[in-house]
Amino acid sequence: MKQFGRIAVSGSISLYNDTTPQSGPYVHVNMVLKQLKMEGFVYGRWKHKNEESLLRLMAWMKEGKLKCSEHITTGFENMSAAFIGMLKGDNIGKAIVKV
């Protein structure tokens, strides 16, 4: 993260079936030293800017300013395991099943 960076927190699918209560975010020393800002993100608040945002995000992807992580599982037969893994938080980034 860059100095004064922002961390958007959205969704918590890995916690849907979690039986252990979460204690909250861990304040890492780099968050303090780099003076980062962490904020919850709710899609509905920004829905009116959807088209503008998509155009900006696509431009950033083309320019290499934004990177996307993907967790790819190969094979239709592994789809159930991939889905369960996504619910458990086993993936980093977008969960994809390649058939």
Q: Average pLDDT of the chain?
A: 89
Structure confidence at residue 19 as a pLDDT band (50, 70, 90)? confident
Q: Tell me the C-alpha distance between 50 and 60, whole Å.
A: 15
pTM of the model: 0.54
Per-residue pLDDT, 27: 76
Q: Tell me the C-alpha distance between 10 and 36, whole Å.
A: 17
Question: Does the pLDDT value for residue 14 go beyond 70?
Answer: no
Residue 16's nearest CA partner among 95, 91, 88 is: 88
Question: Does the pLDDT value for residue 1 go beyond 80?
Answer: yes
DSSP SS3 for 72: strand
- Beta carbons of 5 and 39 less than 8 angstroms apart: no
Domains along the sequence of the chain with CATH: 1-66 (3.40.50.720), 68-99 (no CATH)
